Amino acid sequence: MMPGAMRSTDIVKIKPEKRIYRCLSCGTTENMGRRKYCTADCRQRLRLKLDGRMGLVQALNTRFATFYFSEAMIMMDLLPYGTREIFSFFYPRSPGRKPAEDFGDMANLLGTIWWDEKRRTNRRHLAAERVLNEAKRNVNGMDAVKPAVLSVFNVKKQCLVQLKIDKSDLWSPALQQIIKDAYRREAKASHPDLGGDADVFRRVNDAYEDLLQWSENPVMSRRRGFPDKWFYDGESNRWIQPINL
């Protein structure tokens, strides 16, 4: 062996870092498991805030927009009709406040700029130009706002919940075995003869049959959106929550 050559016993296996799931509405990591949102109410509060400021993206003649955030910033990328320029708005997060609240403050600030210019010039397009001048241009590419068409599993979520199967397992070539193993585990815990609940056992059995049938002929649907950003579509004039792949 040459001096300094690595031996097989010198190889150190590096354990991959565990993914940290953050709520896509408030950013918390507590008790998230593999969920996208900490609660349905938290998701709804952000949706209501985005919908409540819909007039801003309409006033800016928006074709596509995305909203997302980090621990330090909230961000909105925007593509108006008739241009290929991306306008990005950045607003600092306030300690102890939710992203929805900071978005409301940013939208109010930009709305005030729009109305001040509208009153001064009586021209809506000039008011929109004034607001867009507050944005950074083309720091992000077209992919930041123009969503890909993604294939998502058309499967009953309750079946996965009942059998405690993660959605990522649906990609596994051993899916049917995963379903069977999950069924044995949950059926054993809920079987009435073993002290379990009859209603729970029935739901486990129904979930097993439905999911096993789906695995034999998987059905997919196609949706536009992002897995980690809220997406605004000017054609439908609505915000779309991140797609659950």
Query: What is the per-residue pLDDT across 59-117, written as a single tens digit (0 to 9) for each?
Result: 999 999 999 999 899 999 999 999 999 999 999 999 989 999 999 999 999 999 999 99
- Measured at the alpha carbon of residue 22, what is the angle toward residues 176 and 207, in degrees to the nearest 5? 25
Average the pLDDT over 199-221 and give the result: 87
| Per-residue model confidence (pLDDT) at position 19 | 63
**How far is Cα 193 from Cα 137, in angstroms, rounded to an integer?**
66
* Section 146-160 average pLDDT: 78
Which fold does the domain 155-218 belong to in CATH?
Helix Hairpins (1.10.287)
Position 120 scores a pLDDT of 96
pLDDT (0 to 100) of residue 130: 96
Tokens of 115: 């109305």
What pLDDT score was predicted for residue 17? Answer: 52
- Those residues whose C-beta lies under 8 Å from the C-beta of residue 229, and which sit 6 or more positions away, are 66, 67, 68, 242
Sheet holding 73-80, edge to edge: 136-137, 87-92, 73-80, 62-69, 230-233, 238-240
Q: What is the CA radius of gyration of the chain?
A: 24
Instruction: Supply the pLDDT for residue 216.
Output: 85
CA gap 54, 52 in Å, rounded: 6
Structure letter (DSSP) for residue 140: S
- Angle at which helices 198-216 and 175-190 pack, to 10 degrees? 170
pLDDT, residue 150, reads 66
pLDDT tens sequence across 9-39: 444 444 445 567 788 888 888 877 777 788 8
DSSP H helical ranges for 156-221: 157-163, 175-190, 198-216
Please answer whether residues 244 and 72 qualify as being in contact, where contact means their C-beta atoms are separated by less than 8 angstroms: no
pLDDT band at 8 (very low <50, low <70, confident <90, very high): very low
User: What pLDDT is recorded for position 18?
Assistant: 56
Query: Tokens 């050559």, residue?
Result: 5
Tell me the per-residue pLDDT of 158-201, one tens digit each, with 9 for 90 and over.
888 888 888 778 888 888 999 999 999 998 888 888 888 888 88
**pLDDT at position 10:** 47
Domain with CATH 1.10.287 in the chain: 155-218
